[in-house]
Amino acid sequence: MAVSQSTAGLFLSALVFTILWVNIARRNRRHQHSHGLANLPSPEAKSWWKGNFDQALNPKAWDFHMRLLKEYAPVVRLDAFLGDKQLIVFDPKAMHHILVKDQAMYDKPKSTFSGGVLIFGKGLVTIQGEAHRKQRRALNPVFSIAHMRNMLPIFYDVVHKVSITLIHELRFPTHDLVSGIRNQLEDGLSSKFKDENAPQEIEILSWMSRTALELVGQAGLGYSFDDLADDSGAHPYTGILKQLVTTLGRMWFIRSYIVNFAVKIGSPSFRRWVLDRLPWKGGHRLRDMSDYMWELSKQIHEGKKRALAGGDEAVARQVGKGKDIMSILMRLNMEEGSQSQLDEDEVLGQMSSLIFAAMDTTSSALARVLHILSTRLDVQGKLRQEILEARKKCGDQDIPYDELVSLPYLDAVCRETLRLYPPVPYVFRVATQDMILPLSNPVTGIDGTSISEIHIPNKTAVTVSIINSNRNPVIWGPDALEWKPERWLSPLPDELIEAHIPGVYSHLMTFNAGSRSCIGFKFSQLEMNDSSIYLPNSTVYRPEK
């Protein structure tokens, strides 16, 4: 039966109206129990119906969050849609309760699960409850130190390639490269002639996006997306992931207030049928990107299954030689009697989730490191000297794992970058029941009373500010807003140690905390360390004039 676009549009309008009415009714009921939140200090809302939402979550909201850090206590009330009361938190004790001690009562928003499964499938970042615990148990062994050590040669191969290409593009001398890299310059890389004696410009973020995708492709999936040979060979996946972040950001309202209800209507095939007929370009773009990622994951998965069935020789011929994350996971998953076996859809869900989680965050971190080094030639020189000395001890070969992770200045540069510029600046939670949230130190309410704990009504949204926790001068000291790698080479402030920050990594919240912490943070560290020892070592970087 044919359905016109006008009919489909009327259907969508009726659906949106119904869902909004239900949301408004629920929020009105919750307002009756949110008097405790009303006494918390809050910045003035700019919109009567969206509250502080645009101030807090738009792509240029950094000044707003800096204002919260400087002018407010580490727990701040925000007004959201139609006056709904929410919190932004970076108090250490409160974060510990939200993300660790009482984490079962502060879950990710339902829209994260319902929308995430539609886009990425049933991966670790999109599921909850026992299914999440099972997947976490299955994946924990995959990210062991032993496996990370085996992946290091894969990382080196990728970074060698991009180093060679950037040097060739810039026409810089290659005397700092190991002999094996010099030989690869004969592999047919081509670019237009440039003056070797003049500085050249490159688009670092673009190259770091391609590098990050290839790193997670080879070490994560055992698949090569990009030969990194020139500036015109980017894989379509790179652009899709960047577009996906932008598209999801523009659809905040639909993701927050519509998707949870829409996924309960009819079967998946019916919902797909409706989406295909709606005059909604954003939804169609999201559908097409999700389809592309899913089909490519299936293609990679089928190839790995054939290789595993073909034995060790077939696996050794694959990219990564069977040492990548998905090969390890699939082998473990094939073992009989495993209590954490994943079905095929769950394995496929890990692939899209892994690429999305690793690629965008890693590329921004790598680009940030190179940008900072370009403005700090003194740090660039110290780092280069440490790397050259370490390579000299290794006979001018790649630095082994144990030595790489023990380079103090490299570690300090990476830690400080992840502290001041966390790739994920905040995480979102929703209270699943009425809760009492204790604070490290009392805050002063609007009425002048001292508040040492907060009553959190059921379904209250809570934003944990990773970036403000990492920059909090109360615990990091008066120089908290400075990029200062030397802070990691001397004892950290007593206030920081005593604060008991719940993050899984070095007193930082960068990789989150609790059972939702980044399972691959060691993988991310290794990517960053590996890339940081070759790219700054090959050239001298300066900012664009």
Distance CA 29, CA 477 (A): 42
Distance CA 127, CA 108 (A): 10
Where helices occur in 335-407 by DSSP H, the ranges are 344-375, 377-393, 401-404
Residue 112: name the closest of 275, 268, 260 by CA: 260
- Within 10 angstroms of residue 257's Cβ, the number of other Cβ atoms is 17
- State yes or no: 394 annotated in a binding site: no
Residue 442: name the closest of 32, 33, 41 by CA: 41
Distance CA 404, CA 304 (A): 30
463, amino acid identity: T
- Cβ-proximal residues to 77 (8 Å cutoff; 6+ apart), any chain: 37, 38, 40, 41, 42, 85, 86, 87
Question: Facing residues of 508 across strands?
Answer: 505
Distances 75 to 61, 117, 313, 452, 463 between C-alpha atoms, Å = 18, 31, 57, 11, 10
C-alpha gyration radius of the chain = 25
Distance of CA 53 to the CA centre of its chain: 21
Distance CA 422, CA 414 (A): 11
Where helices occur in 376-472 by DSSP H, the ranges are 377-393, 401-404, 408-420, 466-471
Q: List residues forming the annotated binding site.
A: 518
Summarize the annotated binding site for heme as residue ranges: 518
